[in-house]
């Protein structure tokens, strides 16, 4: 089991890092008291796989308990847990600008200090944690997609995570899938609905699948479709896209769309992609395809 402490300077991007970690399948908890860390860890371990990766976000407000935090992490390591610290920082002028733009209040601001003096004080107080950090990320000149790539590189084995891909077969008469990133129309293909022995079947059945994919236009379409997806996937991943949804539609979402979406999913899985097929409208009642 893995525990990741996300900490660092206020305004350096801890919240954005937490969102990215959720995309990487971490269970994120914000500002959990240090005293609850071990009981929470024992609960996670007892869940038997429900919480495999946990990220705990903390900041300078926990400074009085940094020693307790380090002791808790040492105890977790004795329990065979992987425990690491991700420290977020940025140049002081950058953090000052971010606070001015957001108009948020720094957690240490007050007592006659300027924002710059407050950030300088926080950097000094956080030094013991920075010294113990496994990873240090400077976000001074980093946008969100770059931050996603950097955190993925640091935390995911091999530097890359398989992009989750959902391939949705749908019927246009039921509306477009709202979550779709890419939409392709298979209604130009011959319709198995008008073949008596295929009408009651679906693209999940071999006779329909073979009928649709046996068409020369279907083969040409699938070739161009896979070439386009091959071109786009590394670029989507490079930009830090957390998931991809590809939708293939026909009239009723039963024959042609399922056949093409199924073939595309099988192609992606064969390439080692994390792809799954969703037949959105397969079980809907309808009198035409």
The better pLDDT of the pair 99, 263 is held by 263
Q: Is the pLDDT of residue 287 over 70?
A: no
Distance between CA atoms of 272 and 203, rounded to whole angstroms?
A: 23
Q: Which two tokens stand for residue 125?
A: 């107080």
Q: Contact at 8 Å (CB) between 136 and 87?
A: yes
Q: How far apart are CA 127 and CA 146, in angstroms?
A: 25
Which residues are within 8 A (CB) of 270 and not within 5 positions of it... i.e. 6 or more apart? none
Residue 144, pLDDT > 90, answer no
Q: Phi first, then psi: what are they for 17, rounded to 5°? A: -60, -40
Provide the Cα torsion 113, 94, 92, 29; round to 10°.
90
Residues facing 245 on adjacent strands: 166
The answer on pLDDT for 73 being more than 90 is no
Beta bridge partners of 247: 168, 183
Q: What is the mean pLDDT of the chain?
A: 87
C-alpha torsion sign, points 179, 183, 187, 189: negative
Question: How far does CA 80 lie from the centroid of its chain?
Answer: 26
**Tokens 């919240």 correspond to what residue?**
15
Tokens for 152, please give them.
């993925």
Cβ–Cβ < 8 Å for 208, 198? yes
Per-residue confidence at 63, pLDDT binned at 50, 70, 90? low
Of 263 and 111, the structure prediction assigns the larger pLDDT to 263
* pLDDT surpassing 50 at residue 159: no
2-159: CATH architecture: 3-Layer(aba) Sandwich (3.40)
Q: What is the CA radius of gyration of the chain?
A: 25
Query: Across residues 40-63, what is the average pLDDT?
Result: 80
Higher confidence at residue 188 or residue 145? 188
Task: Give me the mean pLDDT over the 63-90 stretch.
Answer: 83
Please give the model's pTM, rounded to 2 decimal places: 0.60
Q: What percent of the chain has pLDDT over 70?
A: 94
pLDDT in tens, 224-251: 999 999 999 988 877 777 789 999 999 9
The pair of structure tokens assigned to 161 is 């995570």
pLDDT at 197 over 90: yes
- Token pair, residue 49, equals 């796989």
| Separation between Cα atoms, residue 45 and residue 42, nearest integer Å | 5
- Domain boundaries, given as residue ranges, for the chain: 2-159, 164-279
- Higher-pLDDT residue of 199 and 41 is 199
> What is the rounded average pLDDT of the residues 211-217?
95
Higher pLDDT, 162 or 54: 54
pLDDT of residue 241: 76
pLDDT of 50 over the 70 cut: yes
């Amino acid at each position: 089991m893995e525990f990741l402490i996300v900490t660092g300077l206020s305004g350096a991007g801890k919240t954005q890092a937490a969102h990215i970690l959720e995309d990487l399948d971490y269970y994120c908890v914000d500002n959990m008291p240090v005293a609850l860390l071990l009981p929470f860890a024992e609960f996670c371990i007892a869940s038997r796989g429900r919480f495999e990766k946990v990220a705990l976000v903390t900041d300078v407000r926990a400074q009085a308990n940094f020693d307790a935090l380090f002791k808790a992490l040492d105890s977790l390591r004795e329990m065979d847990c992987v425990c690491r610290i991700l420290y977020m920082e940025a140049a002081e002028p950058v953090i000052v600008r971010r606070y001015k733009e957001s108009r948020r209040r720094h957690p240490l601001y007050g007592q006659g200090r300027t924002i710059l003096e407050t950030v300088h004080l926080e950097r000094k107080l956080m030094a013991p944690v920075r010294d113990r950090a496994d990873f240090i990320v400077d976000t001074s000149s980093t946008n969100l997609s770059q931050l996603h790539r950097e955190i993925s590189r640091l935390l995911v084995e091999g530097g890359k995570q398989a992009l989750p891909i959902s391939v949705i077969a749908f019927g246009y008469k039921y509306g477009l899938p709202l979550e779709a990133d890419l939409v392709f129309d298979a209604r130009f293909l011959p319709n198995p609905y008008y073949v008596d022995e295929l009408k009651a079947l679906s693209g999940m059945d071999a006779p329909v699948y073979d009928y649709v994919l046996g068409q020369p236009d279907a083969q040409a379409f699938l070739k161009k479709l896979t070439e386009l997806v091959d071109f786009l996937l590394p670029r989507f991943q490079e930009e830090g896209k957390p998931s991809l949804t590809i939708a293939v539609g026909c009239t009723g979402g039963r024959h042609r769309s399922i056949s093409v979406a199924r073939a595309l999913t099988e192609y992606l899985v064969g390439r080692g992609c994390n792809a799954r097929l969703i037949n959105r409208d397969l079980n809907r009642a309808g009198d035409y395809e």
